[in-house]
Amino acid sequence: MIHVRTTTAAALALALVLPLGGCQRALPPAAAIYARGADSKSLDPQAVDDGESAKVIENIFDTLVAFAPGSLEILPALAERWEMRPDGLLWTFHLRKGVGFHDGTPFDADAVVFTFRRFLDEAGPSLPPDVPYGPYYRGPIASVEAKDAATVVFTLKHTYAPFLPNLCMFAAGIVSPAAVKAGGGKAFGKNPVGTGAFRFQEWNPGEKKITLVRNEEYWRGPAALARVVFMTIPDNNARLSAFRAGSCNWMDSPNFEDLEACRKDPKVRLWSAPGLNVGYLALNTLRKPFDDARVRRAVALAVDRKKLVEALYFGAGKPAVHPMAPGILGYDDSVKVPAPDRARAKALLAEAGFPDGFDTELYAMPNPRPYYPQPQKIAQVLKSDLEAVGIRATINPVGEWAAYLDAVQNAKHPMCMLGWTTDNGDPDNFLTTFFSAECAQPGPGALGVSFWVDPRMQDLLRRGEREVDAGRRAAIYREALALVREEVPLVPIAHAEQFVLSTRGFEGFTVQPTGDLFLHPVRPVATE
Amino acid sequence: MREGAAALGRDRRLRALLRNRGAVAGAALLLVLALLAIGADALTPHGPRTVDLERVLEGPSSDHWLGTDDLGQDLLARLLHGARISLLVGAVSVGIAVAVGVPLGSIAGYAGGWADTILMRLTDVMLAFPSIVLAIAIVAALGASLTNLMIAVGLVTIPGYARQVRASVLQVKAEDYVTASRALGARPLRILAGTVLPNCLAPLLVLATLDYGVAILEAAALSFLGLGPEPGTPEWGKMLADSQNLFSLAPRVVIAPGLCISAAVLAFNLLGDGLRDALDPRAR
Amino acid sequence: MFRYVLRRVLFFVPVWLGVATAVFLLVRLSGDPAVAIKGDKAPPEEIEKFRRQEGLDRSLPVQYASFLADTVRGDLGWSYRTDRPVARDLADSFPATVELTLLAMTLAVACGVALGTVAAVRRNGPADAASMVVALIGVSVPLFWLALLAMKGLGEGAGWFPVGSRLSAGTEFRPLTGIYTLDALLRGDLDAFSDAVGHLVLPACVLATVPAAIVTRMTRSSLIETLGKDFVRTARAKGLTERAVVIRHALRNSLVPIVTVVGIHFGLLLGGAVLTETVFGWPGLGKYTVDSVLRRDFHAVQGALLLMATTFVCVNLVVDVLYGFLDPRIREGYEEGR
């Protein structure tokens, strides 16, 4: 009896001690193990619109042109140089020579045409099941042709200022025609073949793990990392724990509350950049009393953005004054964050017929978003600000994200919180999404949840989309922003920074303002 | 004569109860909690929902005795108002369980036959799920709110009462005087009310006391998972959910609500155990 | 004996049917699944197409019949959240919960019996009082709070234990049964074994607290009762050491109520697993159920609830049979009374 007991005790003790030694196991060098919040949906560039798919796709595929690291400047990539005809309707791209796909086939103009036909065609065996970014390309592009093996010509339906930035998006990644034809358009997402810095090795859907290996023949020169593994840890805290335990050496989307600890931790490297996003409070102009501009102005005057951001963004946010991120063309620097003016707000409300305020509802999303790290708490602060001027709002925390989007897209809210992160760094990407007539109709797919359609704005949007001169374009958008400040269909609240964490042993990384992830420049370095 | 004997029994049990240290401690703790809950507004000048972004995550001070949370709200005020909510939730949930479970169990036990079989199978099915899982499913179906929380917790607590009452009814039904009453044509309701229910009052009381604590735990768990009241409500479970990530910055915001829940449940457990020892020593 | 077992097994069928019906109704009660799944970006035609696909446009009894038929065949539908068949999700998550609950139960019984024995033997002394206080606190403390404190304090904070998954990420490990500790041992992979155990320790200890408290109290009262019995006095008179008396004779006879307690409170353990798994991010059935319910992934909710209830009913069945086996009086009483 006694022997059994001591042996069991010893075994238990051993079992407790062993793991402590096991945790600190060193990972193989030259591999990046990147933990993110959800698995990719597909690795086919034309088939998806979600960030988790984009992250991986960007390292397997290249685009014709690309944003410079850390900025919105457009540089050559698969295209060495390009020309635009003066009328803006014809674009000619001269392709880089000597580039090959991961399957050995050569990259040429036919590949580019093949890729863009996947946007333009309605049906065909090479198409993926769904093309969410279709409208971005199908809308302006009339046709795409190969003039010769190294030259591609795009003909546009009208001048389109965002054309080049759209070509930088991951959705425009050039695919290998041979691979798509061999496996079919629908299966390509599980077996991607591109020209990028890493080739696809394996996707384990059960473990939600994707493995990429270095492309030794990469045209920019082979990467320093031999292997990249993408793994999925949905819970932010669990992800940070795994990172601290050494289970992964890269991760993104940390909780803002943990940033301070990460900054102080010598083993952690915090990479950050301002995010090209905006979180705002949308006022449903289809509902009383928010159809009255005075009421909307009162709301804008009641909210104290500075204090909110200081308290709830842990130093990683900026109060917002425009529904567009700073640094984007047309952003008006001269406008400062207004201080709240509660007296004037009350006066406006009284003028509009609400001397005692009114009751209403505020819809707040249940889960963190890049622009709203703690939406429910932010909602509480907004509620408190509104109460100070007599607007009594109850917070409606619709149970889950898909249901939330459904509710606000169908105009069920008097006020709601929402936001946007740009896909291509273009001002049109923000303002069209919020204010164009197509996007501001209630119904599934609605993106402008103020449902405010003003002919002056429509005109400005159309002109801005087609104006190719940067200076004139900026002026158009400044006018649009002024209109928003006057009519207040929404109240911009904050812009949030983006963060990526890595262990100390890496250099050369830059956080892209658009949220793209490029691991090619990353170099493992020696640490003590 | 019978009444005299009953009164003597009651006295004896009351004295046994008062002698039980656990029961007395539990009752005292409960009294303190109730007083704190009632007097919440008097004990601190701050409201539980007053957001003050100038004083975020401050430590204890003379103005905020337990400091503030990450929205500058007074922690003490929130804990005290949370006591009100928890005590209310427990009462309503147990109330629903008793109001539905006792009649159902009585019918099952008294009527017997098909009614009994159906009701027993129903409770079997309900008991086949871990109660928290069933509660989660119910709240998810009804929508997250404090009311639905109370309904869900109440519903999952019903089987215990139905079974208890049924067992008591079955026990008493066999007694001679009940058979005699029925033969004399007395209405079933009178028989039930007069003889059966007083008999099972003791075990029901024990059950209700213990379940009150369980209800508080389950409601807190549901709020913690996000299935509870409106954001900003000072419900203890919700406070824990909101402050999860603040542990490294201000551990007291995570520790305090948990201690409160533990204290409340402990009080009910102590009292319930004491009641059981004093009133129904057979049932262990 | 056989008749007893047979009756218990037959009793299982109507209960299971009742459970399946309850699950079916509960899910349908939560609103239109089509809107819940497709709601965010779908035009009305999409929603209709979805309803036809899923057979949601058929009458309720027809849906019910096909639900039963599918379930019995093992087709539990498709999870929209994980984009995989529900049956596969359950096959992945169920062993994780089994591993966790088995270890938690073992720890609970080991601790509980030990503490309860000490309390019973040193009755009314300080050790007894201390054990009882600890046990009482164990049933009063909210489990998710303990889990949170353990996770933040010992796991993330101090970093003593890895948390958030079953194995450290980046491990190349091919499971066999799904119970990683077992699989690691079967493969002779000691690294993986210690890694798996490391991840298992904290959640299992937290989950074990409530059952441990219950077992402590149960053991104490049961043992006290047994120690008062005649045969114990006889054993003492025969000159056996106190330890032999307590362990070899008294405890063994007290095991029956302990077994029952384990069985009865298995539901509590499953419920506790739900909370523990959610806080620790342990990818088991409990977490899967919560995630599916919160996202209204109705096939997954159906499958998970069904599996959970079925497991519970099966465990009760086993405990009943075991109980009948251990104590013949129960068997006879059952056949007479029920």
Interface pTM, i.e. ipTM:
0.86
Residue of A nearest to B226 (CA): A399
Length of chain A: 528
Query: Which residues in chain B have Cβ-Cβ distances shorter than 8 Å to A397?
Result: 144, 230-231
Touching A (3+ Cβ pairs <8 A), the chains are B, C
Take residue A228 and report the two structure tokens written for it.
């990249």
Q: What totals of helices (H) and strands (E) does chain A contain, helices first?
A: 16, 20
Cβ pair A449, A416 in contact under 8 A: yes
Q: What is the mean pLDDT of residues C45-55?
A: 66
The chain-wide mean pLDDT, for chain C, equals 78
For residue C255, pLDDT beyond 80: no
User: Cβ neighbours of residue A214 under 8 Å, at least 6 residues apart?
Assistant: A197, A198, A199, A222, A223, A225, A226, A227
pLDDT of residue C41: 45
For residue A17, pLDDT beyond 50: no
Q: What is the mean pLDDT of residues C163-168?
A: 69
Question: Is B278 or A216 the better-scoring residue by pLDDT?
Answer: A216
> Does B140 reach chain C within 8 Å, measured CB to CB?
yes
Q: Is the peptide bond before A427 cis (omega within 30 degrees of 0)?
A: no
Q: What is the mean pLDDT of residues B46-55?
A: 85
pLDDT category of residue C47 using cuts at 50, 70 and 90: low
DSSP type of residue A256: G
Query: Which residues in chain B have Cβ-Cβ distances shorter than 8 Å to C285?
Result: none
Contact B132 C139 (CB under 8 A): no
Q: What is the mean pLDDT of residues C310-314?
A: 85
For residue B87, pLDDT beyond 90: yes
What does each C-alpha distance from B165 to B204, C215, C290 come to in angstroms? 8, 27, 33
Q: A421: distance to nearest CA of chain C, Å? A: 18
Percent with pLDDT over 70 in chain B: 88
For residue A26, pLDDT beyond 50: no
For residue C35, pLDDT beyond 70: no
pLDDT category of residue A22 using cuts at 50, 70 and 90: very low
Among A220, A166, A212, smallest CA distance to A57 is for: A212
Q: What is the mean pLDDT of residues A481-495?
A: 93
For every residue of A71-106, DSSP letters joined together read: SS-EEESSEEEEEE-TTSSEEEEEEPSS-B-TTSPB
Query: Which residues in chain A have Cβ-Cβ distances shorter than 8 Å to C292?
Result: none
> Does A241 reach chain B within 8 Å, measured CB to CB?
no
pLDDT category of residue C156 using cuts at 50, 70 and 90: low
pLDDT of residue A27: 45
Cβ pair C147, C276 in contact under 8 A: yes
Element (H, E) at B51: none
Q: How far apart are CA B169 and CA B164, in angstroms?
A: 9
> Does A379 reach chain B within 8 Å, measured CB to CB?
yes
Query: Which residues in chain C have Cβ-Cβ distances shorter than 8 Å to B220?
Result: 142, 144
pLDDT tens profile A67-98: 999 888 999 999 999 999 988 899 999 999 99
pLDDT category of residue A179 using cuts at 50, 70 and 90: very high
pLDDT tens profile A141-164: 999 999 999 999 999 999 999 999
Query: Which residues in chain A have Cβ-Cβ distances shorter than 8 Å to C83?
Result: 41, 205
For residue B261, pLDDT beyond 90: yes
Question: Is C46 or A101 the better-scoring residue by pLDDT?
Answer: A101
pLDDT of residue A322: 94
What 3-state DSSP class applies to A274? strand
Least confident of B220-229, C89-98, C177-186: C177-186
Query: Which residues in chain A have Cβ-Cβ distances shorter than 8 Å to C296?
Result: 399-400, 403
Q: C155: distance to nearest CA of chain A, Å? A: 8
For residue B165, pLDDT beyond 80: yes
pLDDT of residue C181: 79
Residue of B nearest to C295 (CA): B140
The dihedral sign for the CA sequence C292, C294, C299, C301: positive
> Does A312 reach chain B within 8 Å, measured CB to CB?
yes
Cβ pair C293, B140 in contact under 8 A: yes
Query: Which residues in chain A have Cβ-Cβ distances shorter than 8 Å to C163?
Result: 238, 241
How many residue pairs from chains B and C have C-beta atoms closer than 8 A?
Answer: 124
pLDDT of residue A255: 86
pLDDT of residue C198: 84
DSSP type of residue C291: H
pLDDT of residue A448: 82
> Does A96 reach chain B within 8 Å, measured CB to CB?
no
Percent with pLDDT over 90 in chain C: 10
Q: How far apart are CA A426 and CA A431, in angstroms?
A: 9
pLDDT tens profile A119-144: 998 888 888 888 888 888 888 999 99
pLDDT of residue A116: 94
Residue of C nearest to B243 (CA): C148
For residue B5, pLDDT beyond 70: no
Percent with pLDDT over 70 in chain C: 78
For residue A19, pLDDT beyond 70: no
Take residue A32 and report the two structure tokens written for it.
């990046």
For residue A417, pLDDT beyond 90: yes
Among B93, B33, B66, B96, smallest CA distance to B266 is for: B33
Q: What is the mean pLDDT of residues B16-22?
A: 73
pLDDT of residue C237: 76
Residues 188-207, chain B: which have Cβ within 8 Å of C? none
Among C278, C283, C262, C250, smallest CA distance to C89 is for: C283
pLDDT of residue C330: 56
Among C4, A256, C294, smallest CA distance to B248 is for: A256
pLDDT of residue C323: 72
pLDDT tens profile A314-372: 889 999 999 999 989 889 989 999 899 999 999 999 999 998 889 999 999 887 888 99
Least confident of A349-363, B241-255, C46-60: C46-60
Question: Is A331 or C327 the better-scoring residue by pLDDT?
Answer: A331
Least confident of A446-450, B6-10, B17-21, C98-102: B6-10
Question: Is C294 or C253 the better-scoring residue by pLDDT?
Answer: C294
pLDDT tens profile A240-284: 878 887 778 899 888 888 888 888 888 899 999 988 999 999 999
Touching B (3+ Cβ pairs <8 A), the chains are A, C
Q: How far apart are CA A59 and CA A218, in angstroms?
A: 11
pLDDT tens profile A204-213: 887 788 999 9
pLDDT tens profile C172-198: 667 777 777 777 777 787 877 888 888
Cα A222 to chain centroid distance, Å, stands at: 27
> Does B144 reach chain A within 8 Å, measured CB to CB?
yes
Residue of B nearest to C33 (CA): B141
pLDDT of residue B151: 94
Residue of B nearest to A376 (CA): B231
Contact A394 B72 (CB under 8 A): no
What 3-state DSSP class applies to A479? helix
Least confident of A293-307, A356-370, B208-222, B267-281: B267-281
Cα C207 to chain centroid distance, Å, stands at: 10
Among A224, A232, A251, A234, smallest CA distance to A503 is for: A251
Percent with pLDDT over 70 in chain A: 93
pLDDT category of residue C5 using cuts at 50, 70 and 90: confident
pLDDT tens profile B189-207: 676 677 667 777 888 888 9
Beta bridge partners of A367: none
Query: Which residues in chain A have Cβ-Cβ distances shorter than 8 Å to B140?
Result: 399
